[in-house]
Amino acid sequence: MSPITVLRTLAVVTVLLGAPLACGADDEKDIRAVLDAQVAAWNKGDLDGFMAGYWNDEKLTFVSGGDITSGWKKTKERYEKRYKADGKEMGRLTFSELYVETFGSNAAMLRGKFELSLEKEKDEKKKHPRGRFTLILKKFPDGWKIVHDHTSAEEVK
């Protein structure tokens, strides 16, 4: 077997087995830029800017607290109710411990940690919600978008 045939065979086997591919530097940079833009928008109180990182489609899924929210519009409404309603605040958002892994040229998983600082919150236990998230992203013609978000808050002790 020629070296080219061997390489082609290995590539096909890798794709068929669904093995994760190394994340290209440009893809990882672009994916991280989506989250950087979300943090910047959130911290300015710009929910529309934050939502720009999500796929604007009814097939978007957001899982948190045992609930599944389907669709971009309903996901935005969930955020509005929790963080933009009267007496609510968006606070200051940070992401850390980000890990990106691509699955082919147009799909990726990102996991990380979030923390919110809510200055107006009177209950000290609720002042700094934090937790973990796993995102599935898809590359569209206009860039990477979150198509699935599973966020879990840490238990408040």
Question: Does residue 9 carry a pLDDT above 70?
Answer: no
Judged against a pLDDT cut of 80, whether residue 14 lies above it is answered with: no
Note the pTM of the prediction, 2 decimals: 0.82
Q: Give me the residue label for tokens 């691509």.
A: 102
| Bigger pLDDT: 7 vs 36 | 36
- Give the pLDDT score at 80: 94
Q: Is 125 exposed, middle or buried (0-12, 13-18, 19+ CB in 10 A)?
A: exposed
List domains and CATH numbers for the chain: 21-153 (3.10.450.50)
**Amino acid letter, residue 52:** A
pLDDT digits (tens, 9 = 90+) for 124-143: 777 888 999 999 999 999 99
DSSP 56: -
User: What average pLDDT does the chain have?
Assistant: 86
Res. 113: pLDDT tops 60: yes
Q: How far is CA 84 from the centre of its chain?
A: 20
DSSP 8-class letter at 21: B
- The pLDDT score that the predictor gives to residue 24 is 62
5 versus 46: the higher-pLDDT residue is 46
- Asked whether the beta carbons of 114 and 151 are under 8 A apart, the reply is yes
Helices (H), the chain: 3-17, 25-43, 47-51, 72-83
Buried b (16+ CB within 10 A) or exposed e, 72-86: beebbeebeeebeee
Give the model confidence (pLDDT) of 35-80 as tens digits.
999 999 999 999 999 999 999 999 999 999 899 999 999 999 999 9
Residue 93: strand pairing partners = 116
Inter-residue contact 131 to 154 (CB < 8 Å): yes
